[in-house]
Amino acid sequence: MATVEKIRNDIAKTKDKIAELQKKQRALEAQLAEEENLEIVRMVKAVKMDNRELTAFLKAYASGLITLPEDMMAADSGAEGETGETEDFEHEE
């Protein structure tokens, strides 16, 4: 019977650790989202467009009226690769 109690205690400890790690993960995801948002704000401010100009540019891009040069598209692909590495790391655990 002592073995059964030990296993139950291990299960309870494991559940507590999982809950703690999930809480930490949510906090890190929120921190990441905040940093990404700040990065976007910095990039937008660097362009020095007013709200109307920025809105018009984004609408034109979204509708396909304008496209990015090929070298900029290649730079975008690299940024997505970084995200993929994070996802791969999550799958390793």
- Give the span between the Cα atoms of 43 and 38, in whole angstroms: 9
Quote the pTM value: 0.59
| pLDDT tens sequence across 29-50 | 999 999 999 999 999 899 999 9
- Give the span between the Cα atoms of 70 and 76, in whole angstroms: 10
| pLDDT tens sequence across 3-22 | 999 999 999 999 999 999 99
pLDDT band at 65 (very low <50, low <70, confident <90, very high): very high
